Amino acid sequence: MELMVDNEKNVNAIWAFEHLRTSYYGNPFPSVSNRIEGLKRLRKSLLAHREQIQNALFQDFRKPPFESDASELLVCLMEIKSMIKHLNRWSEKQAVSSNITLIGTRSYTILEPKGVVLIFSPWNFPINLSFVPLISAFAAGNKIILKPSELTSHTSKLIEKIVKQAFTDDEIIVLNGGVELAEDLIKLPFDHIFFTGSGKNGKRVMQMAAQNLTPVTLELGGKSPVVIDQKVNLKQVVERVAHAKIINAGQVCISPDYIIIHKDLVDEFIILWKQQLFNWFGDHMVAHQDYCGIIDSKHYHQLLDLVNQSLDEGAELVEPIELDSRTLKIKPILLRNVNWNAPVMQVELFGPVLPIITYSNIEELLPKMMILDRPLCLYVFSKRESFIKQVMNVCRSGGVSINNCLINFCNLDLPFGGNHQSGMGYSHGKYGLETFSHVRSVSKQVFFFSTLKLFYPNYSKLKQKIKNLTINLFS
């Protein structure tokens, strides 16, 4: 297949793809031991660049070094350790039973590399969300092109450096660039595309990938709700929700997007919220070194515009807005008296804004929740199993955390992925390995006689009886 060059800028994309495809054809089934050695080299490279990772993330959007370690580097190291530990077992062929119509056969499945895969990573967790899927893709035996976000330029350049120290150009190539490069890449006939980003861009990726029938994994987002029962330890709830919201200044695909709480608990929730933020950050949160900034001026002003539009429609601030236009920091904005039609309820907020929706009776709320788009995560706080089950049954989501936030993501042995509007496919651990693998089914005739011979023409009375007996056996 000849790949067409539309402009000079996509020459690098085509060269990288063709180079890796040639490399794949030369070694389509790299040994598990070689894959494990590659993961060890990556771990060494990540640790060698630990301080540079902290510096780059701070330069890009003032991410605190502690968060850089905890939410970026640590997740990668955990994923590598788990993959190294389990890869031999996960890569073994898996025996599959055969039914009575296939007596004399043996069946099994094997995981095979898909080929040359493309990974798009976002700006909000550029280390974590570049390397976690990359770890799965490499462990599965693929060749990889990684396209980091252009919005985190310092970190994206560092990612290229980290990869070059751990891998050769025959294994993984990092390409840095903007939207034009991304579109040039999607046009190429990759064997899989893994995209993390917005729903709008996810639709575009899927539409373009369809031209080559390229399978796609979409890690998107959505409005992840926090549903709070009356039967809770409210102080503990506030502490856990506030922590989840301040991480990365709310710029997280599974950040709590809005609160659904009983009307009798609202005032206490607000008091506890203010106290919790004060305990962590003092009087002037936006000046605190442990709090992150917004990625750029565009996103910063979009958030403030949404808040102002919602205030015009009746929402209320619980305290004056505190911000710093120089560092692009916004103290988490809590909004009360918000209705379902408010501007802040129409889009994923992806920032430090948290609307409060109240209810009087959970039964009145459930029909509304049933028709909402399916978010990446659902958070439910309750001591009552019946309440938890009610909410989970009507609010479909990618994952669920009960009586805490983020914990379903933090367990790397669980599949992480969306549901409908929040994405498709999975990452993490064994599930990530399978995402980047073709599960090939194999059946082998081991005895000289094949039962399928009983179904050869001509269809005699004896064969009719055998066929009817077989149908009865499965009825």
- The least confident of 59-63, 99-103, 223-227, 412-416 is 99-103
Nearest C-alpha neighbor of 191 from the set 157, 235, 140 = 140
Q: Alpha-carbon distance 290 to 66, whole Å?
A: 8
Task: Tell me the domains of the chain and their CATH numbers.
Answer: 8-220+426-438 (3.40.605.10), 225-416 (3.40.309.10)
Alpha helices in 247-399 (DSSP H): 266-281, 297-312, 362-370, 385-394
Q: Which residue has the higher pLDDT, 298 or 9?
A: 298
Contact 116, 21 (CB under 8 A): yes
Mention every residue, 6+ apart, whose C-beta is less than 8 A from residue 458: none
Query: How large a percentage of the chain has pLDDT more than 70?
Result: 98
384-401 residue pLDDT tens: 999 999 999 999 999 999
241-283 residue pLDDT tens: 999 999 999 999 999 999 999 999 999 999 999 999 999 999 9
Instruction: Say if strands 423-424 and 216-219 run parallel, antiparallel, or are unpaired.
Output: antiparallel
191-222 residue pLDDT tens: 999 999 999 999 999 999 999 999 999 999 99
Q: Alpha-carbon distance 399 to 253, whole Å?
A: 12
Alpha-carbon distance values, 229 to 53, 158, 337, 360 (Å): 40, 45, 18, 11
427-452 residue pLDDT tens: 999 999 999 999 999 999 999 888 88
| pLDDT for residue 4 | 47
Q: Which residues are catalytic?
A: 219, 253
Contact 473, 100 (CB under 8 A): yes
Q: Alpha-carbon distance 200 to 217, whole Å?
A: 15
Residue 127, pLDDT > 70, answer yes
| pLDDT for residue 454 | 87
Nearest C-alpha neighbor of 132 from the set 57, 73, 45 = 73
Q: Alpha-carbon distance 20 to 114, whole Å?
A: 13
| Residues 401-435: b if buried by 16+ CB within 10 A, e if exposed | bebbbbbbbeebeebbbbbebbbbbbbbbbbbbbb
| pLDDT for residue 2 | 45
328-378 residue pLDDT tens: 999 999 999 999 999 999 999 999 999 999 999 988 888 999 999 999 999
Average pLDDT, the chain: 96
Contact 392, 225 (CB under 8 A): no
pTM of this structure: 0.94
| Residues 246-260: b if buried by 16+ CB within 10 A, e if exposed | bbbbbbbbbbbbbbb
Confidence of residue 100 (pLDDT cuts 50, 70, 90): confident
213-250 residue pLDDT tens: 999 999 999 999 999 999 999 999 999 999 999 999 99
The structure tokens 């609307």 sit at: 355
Alpha-carbon distance values, 150 to 10, 147, 154, 157, 448 (Å): 16, 9, 9, 9, 61
1-60 residue pLDDT tens: 445 444 455 669 999 999 999 999 999 999 999 999 999 999 999 999 999 999 999 999
101-121 residue pLDDT tens: 899 999 999 999 999 999 999
Residue 218 sits at φ, ψ, to 5 deg, of -115, 115
